Amino acid sequence: MAKRMTDTDKWKKRFVRDLSPQHKLLWFYILDDCNHAGIWEVDIEVASIRVGYELIYDMLPESFLDKIVIFDNGDKWFIPDFIDFQYGELNPNSNVHKSVISLLQRYNLEGYVKGLQTLPNTEQDKDIVIVKDKVKAKAKRFVKPSLSDLEDYCIERNNKVDVVKFFNYYESNGWKVGKNPMKDWRAAIRTWEKNSTEQSKSKVEQSLNTWQEARHMINNG
**161 in the same domain as 55:** no
**Domain endpoint, select from 107, 140, 173:** 140
The string of pLDDT tens digits covering residues 2-42 is: 788 998 998 998 888 888 888 888 999 999 999 999 999 99
58-116: pLDDT as tens digits? 677 777 778 889 888 888 999 999 998 999 888 888 888 999 999 999 999 988 887 66
Q: Where are the beta strands (DSSP E) in the chain?
A: 39-41, 69-71, 76-78, 176-177, 180-181
Dihedral of CA 99/105/106/112: which sign? positive
Q: Which residues pair with 180 in a beta bridge?
A: 177
Domain termination site, one of 82, 105, 140: 140
Is the pTM of the predicted complex or chain greater than 0.85? no
Domain that holds residue 181: 147-220
pLDDT at 120: 42
